[in-house]
Amino acid sequence: MGSSPNSKPKIVRGSAGYVLEDVPHFSDYIPDLPTYSNPLQDNPAYSVVKQYFVHVDDSVPQKIIANKDSPRGVHFRRAGPRQKVYFDSDDVQAAIVTCGGLCPGLNTVIRELVCAMFHMYGVKKVLGINGGYKGFYAHNTITLTPKTVNDIHKRGGTVLGSSRGGHDTNKIVDSIQDRGINQVYIIGGDGTQRGASRIFEEIRKRGLKVAVVGIPKTIDNDIQVIDKSFGFDTAVEEAQRAINAAHVEAESGENGIGVVKLMGRYSGFIAMYATLASRDVDCCLIPESPFYLEGPGGLFEFTEKRLKENGHMVIVIAEGAGQELVSESIHSMQKQDASGNKLLQDVGLWISQKIKEHFAKLKTMTINLKYIGCIALSFSYLTDPTYMIRAVPSNASDNVYCTLLAQSAVHGAMAGYTGFTSGLVNGRHTYIPFHRITEGQNKVIITDRMWARLLSSTNQPSFTIAKSVLEEKKEEEEEATGN
């Protein structure tokens, strides 16, 4: 089989500023491949659907807000079944792997990949790789059939196991080749998709007919381009339970303060949506919006004010918020996990301590602070409330979302596409080239309407604005006095 070192982004331009950021296809680097009729045309469930097969030129715009003169802009290839497929079903040997942290819905995606392959395409050989990327070369595999995955979507976690670190591209591709695998479904977050991209490049370099397909997983919703990640809705729903508990505790004590720490390493989406949904939260702190404790416009001043007004208060804090403040006060070594992600300090515990110290010094107000989930158990993961929202099974709407993501992934691989992530863009399923997924991170934009909605719902200080106004004022005073 021929190979080409050329793996530049595939950009197709059309009229009126139309741009298609296309995904690789086997035919880009392997000539004269046979094609087959899609077996779905004989499937009684689907054969009655008018226009069931996606038109070869269909694409989905990245930006849907337009005005009369705006160019058509960037598009992604529309996901879905194609008339012709590049695999004879009997020849398919698929593999599924889950990498990175847990997220509700992982088992649903595994289940639906297996079912789509068996029931839609008549594929009979699907392997589960145990324990993440390193499982390709360091662990056993398990055989997956619709029967073995039948009710796994009712359980949290991943039946395949997961891990961080251990990505050795050559060993992984050797193992893919040795096992005769020709479709690889890789479920994971930004780190995982970077790893998948490397696997794709190596496979292309070796000229192999192996489809490499990513399915984006991130509880933090920090993967860019896609509308939202699966499991996110479930996580927000689960976070409500923690916030409710904090609210009940806060309301019941004199000057009660409930502090809830939620997941969100670099992006505060869970905290923002959980706050907006709950309406019981007085202050939401996220990594994207720096805050400060002391002085005018600071958290302490706001807390005193809220307690005087309402007698209680709930603070939601994303785990990645205020890390620079924590590092200033706790001497720490910069540590990383096996995948190279920064290990965070416990900001929930830190902020709870700081608030307690402040009111103890103030002496005019006695407070009752409860840090939700901070129970003295012997295992650290049980004392950290953030893990509670990760381990649950996905809710109904996430299950449907996972099903469509998985089916889209299988349609794409069968149609000969490779080196792509299956993702929802403006409510339509698409194939997104890896580089678009991995080149940045999705973050809460604090100058956008959503954050403004949050600020107006909690009426919390906008720390950035307050601080910059203070700094400007100070500079003006210094200029005026000539200091």
Give the footprint of ligand ADP on this chain (CB under 6 A). 99-101, 132-133, 163-167, 188-192, 194-195, 198, 339, 341
Q: Which of 216, 280, 204, 249 is nearest to 369 (CA)?
A: 249
The answer to whether 17 is annotated as binding is no
**What one-character DSSP code corresponds to residue 108?**
H
Interactions with ligand FBP, residue window 137-166 (CB under 6 A): 164
Establish whether 178 is a catalytic residue.
Answer: no
Q: Which of 32, 90, 168, 220 is catalytic?
A: 220
Q: Name the closest residue to Mg ion (Cβ).
A: 189
Contact flag: residue 439 with ligand FBP (CB under 6 A): no
How far is residue 24 from each of residues 30, 181, 290, 434, 464, measured CA to CA in Å? 11, 19, 40, 10, 43
**Judged by CB, which is closer to ligand ADP: 341, or 368?**
341
Contact flag: residue 416 with ligand FBP (CB under 6 A): no
How far does CA 17 lie from the centroid of its chain?
30
The nearest distance, CB 280 to Mg ion, in angstroms, is: 29
The nearest distance, CB 413 to Mg ion, in angstroms, is: 24
The answer to whether 161 is annotated as binding is no
| Count of chain residues binding ligand FBP (CB under 6 A) | 13
The nearest distance, CB 341 to Mg ion, in angstroms, is: 6
**What one-character DSSP code corresponds to residue 294?**
S
Contact flag: residue 105 with ligand FBP (CB under 6 A): no
With CB under 5 to 8 Å by kind, the binding choice for 358 among Mg ion, ligand ADP, ligand FBP, none is: none
With CB under 5 to 8 Å by kind, the binding choice for 265 among Mg ion, ligand ADP, ligand FBP, none is: ligand FBP
Instruction: Please tell me the distance from the alpha carbon of residue 480 to that of residue 478, in angstroms, as a whole number.
Output: 5
Contact flag: residue 24 with ligand FBP (CB under 6 A): no
Residue 199's SS3 state is helix
Residues 337, 345 contacting (CB under 8 angstroms): no
Q: What angle do CA 358, 359, 361 make, to 5 degrees?
A: 70
Residues 97, 132 contacting (CB under 8 angstroms): yes
The answer to whether 238 is annotated as binding is no
* Tokens matching residue 285: 């702190």
The answer to whether 131 is annotated as binding is no
Instruction: Please tell me the distance from the alpha carbon of residue 209 to that of residue 402, in angstroms, as a whole number.
Output: 26
**What one-character DSSP code corresponds to residue 119?**
I
Contact flag: residue 219 with ligand FBP (CB under 6 A): yes
Contact flag: residue 337 with ligand FBP (CB under 6 A): yes
Q: Which of 474, 481, 448, 423 is nearest to 77 (CA)?
A: 423
Instruction: Please tell me the distance from the alpha carbon of residue 180 to that of residue 190, in angstroms, as a whole number.
Output: 27
The answer to whether 219 is annotated as binding is yes
Interactions with ligand FBP, residue window 384-403 (CB under 6 A): 390
Pick the binder of ligand FBP from 108, 193, 218, 395 (CB under 6 A): 218
The nearest distance, CB 164 to ligand FBP, in angstroms, is: 6
The nearest distance, CB 212 to ligand ADP, in angstroms, is: 13
The answer to whether 133 is annotated as binding is no
The answer to whether 263 is annotated as binding is yes
**Judged by CB, which is closer to ligand FBP: 186, or 219?**
219
Strand 141-143 relative to strand 126-129: parallel, antiparallel, unpaired? antiparallel
Instruction: Please tell me the distance from the alpha carbon of residue 262 to that of residue 145, in angstroms, as a whole number.
Output: 36
The answer to whether 69 is annotated as binding is no
Residues 229, 219 contacting (CB under 8 angstroms): yes
**Judged by CB, which is closer to ligand FBP: 106, or 149?**
106
Residue 25's SS3 state is strand
Taking residue 16's Cβ as centre, other Cβ atoms within 10 Å add up to 8
Pick the binder of ligand FBP from 220, 282, 288, 346 (CB under 6 A): 220
Q: Which of 162, 147, 32, 56 is nearest to 99 (CA)?
A: 162
The nearest distance, CB 179 to ligand FBP, in angstroms, is: 25
The nearest distance, CB 320 to ligand ADP, in angstroms, is: 14
Instruction: Please tell me the distance from the alpha carbon of residue 195 to that of residue 294, in angstroms, as a whole number.
Output: 43
Q: Name the binding residues for substrate.
A: 218-220, 263-265, 319, 387-390
Q: Which residues are catalytic?
A: 220
Q: Name the binding residues for Mg(2+).
A: 190
Name the site residues for ligand FBP (rule: CB under 6 A).
100-101, 164, 189, 218-220, 263, 265, 319, 337, 341, 390
